[in-house]
Structure 1
């Protein structure tokens, strides 16, 4: 009799443990299903936001080539708002000819850029010379410049390209370029304008201040005149190479951003109207 009771007690204990394990497993499956559902919703929202941002880039390209000059968007950094599906897309366009070209800018413009960025005069001159030496063929350094021996003396395992910059980011490697200076000047740099100095019609404040004889006060005056002029007068004066940034925001707060540098080719039958020079997703460099 005692043996039977003991057996029934063990059986009951096993059943209870089994129920407990089943409850734990069911709870785990429920939590996993909920997590996967949340992940699926997040990925779906991110995908929607991404394609809304892409639509913003395409909208900007179309607006830059609008047949009516007065309705064209202006590539001077102003914000355009575009509604796509359930997303609000903020779009900015910057004309590359309003930036400082690493491969074509004069020494004075490069020095002016670094001064406008808050760099001391002597160091601004050295950075300017180092950039010119990076892009210039030959092994002899210019005064205050830097070729292979100067990089070696600084403990660096590389030297200048001795040819044109292949990307804007390459300027981070120039001798004397620190992270803080780079972060300040990077938005004002390009390799696609081919201009000795920025175009004042499209240049942002830092690039404007880099132009010899203009400075900070002159840059402010140009910007004030530009703001008073509205959009129509300058809409036809855009260049052909632009950097477009589109940030899409859904109703639930999901965000996605794209930055693309494109070169317009004109609207002709059978011709791709633009070429993509650079494409970057998100805000990281």
Structure 2
């Protein structure tokens, strides 16, 4: 009897351990399932926010091309707000004509622009010369210094001057003397798509306008006070109107925020029109996320 009682006790203990093990397994599976559900939800909401931000880019292109002044968005950097499928969307659109073209700007404009970003005058002149040396086909350094193959070798860089035009603004990080911090300040105001020696003041930022010898803050304030739908004439400068002709190539930043505070941002450079059937624009640069 005692042996049977002992066997029953052992069996009961084993059953209890088995129940505890099964309960732990069920709990673990439930936790994994919940975690995967939450991860899936986060991913889905992220995709919803990103698609809403992309919709902001699509919508901005329709508004900037509108012929009715009451509907038209000016591509001068001001913030435009829109609601789409429950999402709050903020869009900034800038015509590339308002930026400094790395392949066309002269050394004076480049020097003043770099100086305005915090460089001292001598350093700014050297950096501007390095941009010209990067894009020109010869191996002669600029009078202000610049950077040709020997200068890159002396700096320990495994490459030399490109001696060809910039293909993207990002190439500026490779130019001799440009730090990541300085590049981050300059990049939003630069382009390789305008083909202009001098930016169009109708779309230029305050930083670019300052480099052009204008009062950037005053010009931007005057420009943004004007409402195209008011019927009033556009503000003017001594050398022309503050309403320029659109190039059809734009930098667009679209930021979407959902009701649950999920956010997504898409930054792109696009050209209106496309050779692809059904496409409204040609993407030249695309960045999703900060």
The normalised TM-score by structure 1 is: 0.92
CA contact (8 A) 1:74 1:238 kept: no
Cα distance in 2 between the residues matched to 1:70 and 1:137: 48
Q: Could you report, residue by residue, the CA deviation over 1:217-268 in whole angstroms, capped at 9, with x for unpaired residues?
A: x2122123213323344677433211111111100011111111111249xx
Listed as ranges, the matches of 1:36-47 within 5 Å are: 36-47=36-47
- Helix, strand or coil at the partner of 1:83: strand
Change beyond 3 A, Cα 1:62–1:235: farther
**Residue 228 (str. 1) matches residue 235 (str. 2):** no
Partner of 2:269: 261
Partner of 2:18: 18
CA contact (8 A) 2:76 2:204 kept: yes
**Residue 142 (str. 1) matches residue 135 (str. 2):** no
CA contact (8 A) 1:96 1:192 kept: yes
Listed as ranges, the matches of 1:47-196 within 5 Å are: 47-143=47-143, 144-196=145-197
**Residue 278 (str. 1) matches residue 275 (str. 2):** no
Q: Unaligned 5+ residue runs, structure 1?
A: none
What is the CA distance between 1:195 and its match in structure 2? 1.1
Q: Which has the higher contact order (CA 8 A, sep 6+)?
A: 1
Cα distance in 2 between the residues matched to 1:201 and 1:95: 9
Cα distance in 1 between the residues matched to 2:126 and 2:285: 29
Change beyond 3 A, Cα 1:30–1:273: closer
Q: Could you report, residue by residue, the CA deviation over 1:112-168 in whole angstroms, capped at 9, with x for unpaired residues?
A: 111110111110000000000000002222221111100000000011211001110
Cα distance in 1 between the residues matched to 2:69 and 2:246: 10
User: Does 220-229 or 191-200 show the bigger shift?
Assistant: 220-229
- Helix, strand or coil at the partner of 2:266: strand
User: Does 163-172 or 225-234 show the bigger shift?
Assistant: 225-234
Q: Unaligned 5+ residue runs, structure 2?
A: 235-241
How many corresponding residue pairs? 277
CA contact (8 A) 2:103 2:166 kept: yes
Cα distance in 2 between the residues matched to 1:17 and 1:235: 80
CA RMSD for the aligned pairs? 1.9
What is the CA distance between 1:179 and its match in structure 2? 1.8
What is the CA distance between 1:69 and its match in structure 2? 4.0
Give structure 1 regions of 4+ aligned residues with deviation exceeding 6 angstroms: none
Cα distance in 1 between the residues matched to 2:8 and 2:208: 87
- Helix, strand or coil at the partner of 1:134: helix
Partner of 1:242: 250
User: Does 223-232 or 270-279 show the bigger shift?
Assistant: 270-279
Change beyond 3 A, Cα 1:195–1:89: same
Cα distance in 1 between the residues matched to 2:224 and 2:88: 24
Cα distance in 2 between the residues matched to 1:237 and 1:140: 37
